[in-house]
Amino acid sequence: MQFLTTKLISFEEAQQKIYEQIQPINDHIKISLLKAAGYITAKAVFSPLDLPLFDNSAMDGYAIQQIKNIKLNHLMQIIGIAYAGKPFENKWPPDTVIRIMTGAPIPNKCDAVIMQENIQKFGNKISINTPIYKGQNIRYKGEDIQIGNQILDSGIRLDSTELTLLASLGINKVSVIRKLRVAIFSTGNELQILGKPLLKNQIYDINRFIISLMLNKLNCKIIDLGIIRDHPNEIRYIFNKADRLADIVICTGGISVGDTDFTRMILQEIGDITFYKLAIKPGKPFAFGRLKNSWFCSLPGNPVSATVTFYYLVQPILKHLAGNTKYTMPLRQRAITMNYLKKTPGRLDFQRGVYSQDENGLLKVSSTGIQDSHIFRSLTMANCFIILERERGNVNPGEWVEIEGFNRLLKG
């Protein structure tokens, strides 16, 4: 059996050990843009077209030629009109203008388009009452994107803006990395599934519920293996089954040091645990390592601890495995705390808080109250984490702290 040190390792050391080992999966598929939201690009994408496709008008107005000869308040006749999808194709005599609509192709010899607000109209003639310059209000072919330009890198998550860009270039399929297969289960004799009445001494399994919600936001394929009772044979069986089905296995509970906490024992037996205890709060009992075919993350059983460790440790692992190598966590900022924060030196602390900005632009943050790892309402009320350094002690009102606003995994 693998020997495990009882020493707490730092959050930064845990991250380093993770990234030294994991590599993105390498299975590529090609799918329709309509189904591609949330997927990660498998390779760079290059433009097959110029964008705009042709010179066109940026405004409703009038196409002008030979602008160097134009004088203010000089009358010029309107000889035709150009629409989007229906260009002006007749001869264009000097000293005349063409009525043109937004998106319409620019007529030959056109130097500029003047906004309709900057002319005066007299029947079928106009006069210009403001100076104009060459190229004014013209969108030139390829000024946004030229054919052959790289428009997306590999490792980019496809959301509405990226997909719309591809659609504008006529690309209807894209090469992506397949969905990450994630097996999840909870351990505990006390757990009951949602929708069933609680028996004596039971609680609902909310860890698997919130992990499923977060996995859906990360566009993972969930393999839900349910609730596993606290018995070594059952836990061993489910880990072996999950290892055959998934790229990564996520479980909650049974990783601490209680008499019925068998998860760590089984993982030592059938896998390789990279680290086991972290110097963070909440979330000290967290294990990461490798089974025969898949990675595993064993999270604490307390709901807040499970959520925090998923957010800060599992989320980056999943994104990296899925090929999303360009992601970043939300920006950390400094804020003034409005109340007393209890903190014992020795562990990096992710307390839950609510931040806001005052009329002077100053960020202020308040705790959501009791920070015990079973108080899930502390997360529901929060919009940020208050990050207190490992060796920091209690924080008094008015002191500066570091905060990190929730990303869309928890809010939005």
For residue 91, what is the domain's CATH number?
2.170.190.11
Q: Whole domain around residue 167: which residue ranges?
A: 29-51+146-177
Residue 2 belongs to a domain? no
Q: What's the pLDDT band for 3 if we cut at 50, 70, 90?
A: low
Residue 1 belongs to a domain? no
Residue partners of 106: CB distance under 8 A and separation at least 6: 54, 55, 56, 57, 63, 100, 113, 138
- The pLDDT of residue 325 is 82
Which letter does DSSP use for residue 60 in this model? S
Residue pLDDT, tens place only, 30-64: 999 999 999 999 999 999 999 999 999 999 999 99
CA angle 166, 168, 174 (to 5 degrees): 20
Domain-terminating residue out of 321, 346, 367: 321
Q: How far is CA 234 from CA 125, 206, 240, in A?
A: 87, 21, 10
CB 125, CB 76: distance < 8 Å: yes
Residue 340 belongs to a domain? yes
Residue 90 belongs to a domain? yes
| Count of domains for the chain | 4
Question: 121 and 232 in one domain?
Answer: no
Residue pLDDT, tens place only, 119-161: 999 999 999 989 999 999 999 999 999 999 999 999 999 999 9
How many CB atoms sit inside 10 A of residue 344's CB?
11
- The pLDDT of residue 57 is 98
Question: 165 and 105 in one domain?
Answer: no
Question: 67 and 106 in one domain?
Answer: yes
Question: 170 and 33 in one domain?
Answer: yes
- Please state, in angstroms and rounded to a whole number, the distance separating the CA atoms of residues 251 and 230: 13
308: left (phi over 0), alpha (psi -120 to 50) or beta: alpha
Residue pLDDT, tens place only, 6-39: 689 999 999 999 999 999 999 999 999 999 999 9
Q: Is the pLDDT of residue 2 over 70?
A: no
Q: Looking at residue 301, which CATH number applies to its domain?
A: 3.40.980.10
- The pLDDT of residue 321 is 97
Question: 202 and 303 in one domain?
Answer: yes
Sheet holding 221-228, edge to edge: 221-228, 181-187, 248-252, 295-299, 285-290, 272-277
Q: Is the pLDDT of residue 114 over 90?
A: yes
Q: Looking at residue 374, which CATH number applies to its domain?
A: 2.40.340.10
Residue partners of 109: CB distance under 8 A and separation at least 6: 65, 66, 92
Question: 37 and 120 in one domain?
Answer: no
Residue 284 belongs to a domain? yes
What string of H, E and C letters represents the secondary structure of 73-109? Answer: CCCEEEEEEEECCECCCCCCCCCEEEEECCCCECCCC
Residue 326 belongs to a domain? no
